[in-house]
Amino acid sequence: MDLSDLRSVAAEAPWYAPQGDECTLFQHAAGCGLPLLIKGPTGCGKTRFVEHMAHVLQRPLITVSCHDDLSAADLVGRHLIAGGDTVWSDGPLTRAVRQGAICYLDEVVEARKDTTVVLHPLADDRRVLPIERTGELIPAAPGFMLVISYNPGYQNVLKGLKPSTRQRFVALDFGYPAPEVERAIVATEGGVDAATAQRLVALAQALRRLTEHDLEETASTRLLVMAARLHASGLPLRSAVRAAIVQALSDEPDTVAALEEVVLAVL
Ligand code: ADP
């Protein structure tokens, strides 16, 4: 276990407001040794949920943000040259398998196709990680859990998870939290009073109803929290919303103008 893993066990549990029975489901999946797939838009609380559950279960958490250049070797490990010698260096997935940690692969479909292949033997009854380069077959230590997330909104046909991969996972579908939960999150995380949190959540709901513009994403809980923090630090609410939400959602002048109109109408 390296120091950063130790820290994640020792730290205070990150605060998490449940959307439903996801905490119970996570505990059962962990107890049954089943991997978990969390679907949901960006900024809706997936990462916070996993951080919270790792603390509840007292497991180290190893998080990997996947990107389109991430290869199987980045997850599993590779030989490195050190002082003329070739030494094997474990990747984050291999460390998690050896330690019995929770390995969270965020936005897994962004990664290169060869990465999902290494997940298969870990995600079914075998619970092993074969390392081709060294010929090792590492059984997952007790407590190891694989958690992956993806944003179905981003998917195109090429990037979707293959059925053979997704059928190995227990799946949880996240949306934005219900208004009363989201108000509590914005107030607590953003450091604003209940009335301001209520206005920001009402704005988010109006923005989420805007469907005629080609927005790739909409106002997420994360963006609301950012706007709330800016406001709590002294910025007028509309300026905070413009910087944290409107400009984050679009570069198109027409779309920005439409978003601004909603802001003026609601705030
Ligand atoms: P995702 O992983 O889905 O992109 P995050 O978990 O990073 O989203 O959430 C973004 C931010 O929104 C968090 O840092 C936290 O401040 C806040 N947040 C969202 N949902 C919750 C929740 N259910 N409980 C507490 N904070 C939340």
pLDDT of 266 reads 94
**Dihedral (C-alpha) 49, 56, 59, 28: value to the nearest 10 degrees?**
-80
**Selection from 133, 30, 28, 54 nearest residue 87 by Cα:** 133
The protein residue whose alpha carbon is closest to atom 17 in ligand 1 is 222
Instruction: Report percent pLDDT > 90 for the chain.
Output: 78
**What's residue 33's pLDDT?**
95
Asked if residue 118 has pLDDT above 80, the reply is: yes
Average pLDDT over residues 215-243: 96
CB 97 within 8 A of CB 138: yes
pLDDT of residue 153: 77
Mean pLDDT score, 241-257 = 95
CA 124 / ligand 1 centre spacing (Å): 29
- pLDDT band, residue 38 (cuts 50/70/90): very high
- Read off the pLDDT of residues 8-30 as tens digits, 9 standing for 90 and up: 445 578 999 999 999 999 999 99
Average pLDDT over residues 148-159: 73
Name the more confident of 182 and 212.
182
Q: Flag whether the pTM goes above 0.95.
A: no
> 221 CB less than 6 Å from ligand 1?
yes
pLDDT band at residue 235 using 50, 70 and 90 as cut-offs: very high
Banded pLDDT at 115 (limits 50, 70, 90): confident
Residue pair 237/246 in contact (Cβ under 8 Å)? The answer is no
Average pLDDT over residues 93-97: 98
pLDDT digit string (tens) for 167-183? 999 999 999 999 999 99
How far apart are the C-alpha atoms of 100 and 87, rounded to whole Å? Answer: 23
Q: Ligand 1 center to residue 90 CA distance, Å?
A: 30
CB burial class (10 A; 0-12, 13-18, 19+) of residue 148?
A: buried
Judge if the beta carbon of residue 43 lies within 6 A of ligand 1: yes
Confidence at residue 1, expressed as pLDDT on a 0 to 100 scale: 44
Calculate mean pLDDT across residues 37-62. Answer: 96
Strands annotated E in 32-94: 36-39, 61-65, 77-82, 85-90
What's the 248 CA to ligand 1 centre distance in angstroms? 17
State if residue 45 touches ligand 1 by the CB under 6 angstroms criterion.
yes
Is the confidence at residue 158, as pLDDT, over 90? no
Ligand 1 pocket, residue 189 CB under 6 Å: yes
Tell which one of 48, 217, 225, 229 to mutate to probe ligand 1, the residue whose CB is within 8 A of the most ligand atoms: 48
Residues β-bridged to residue 137? 130
Residue 66 has pLDDT above 50, yes or no: yes
Residue 6 has pLDDT above 80, yes or no: no
Burial class of residue 102 in the structure, from the number of CB atoms within 10 Å of its CB (0-12 exposed, 13-18 middle, 19+ buried): buried
pLDDT at 113 over 70: yes
Q: Is the pLDDT of residue 3 over 80?
A: no
Q: How confident is the model at residue 32 (pLDDT cuts 50, 70, 90)?
A: very high
pLDDT at 154: 67
In this structure, the residue with its CA closest to atom 9 of ligand 1 is 45
Q: Is the pLDDT of residue 74 over 60?
A: yes
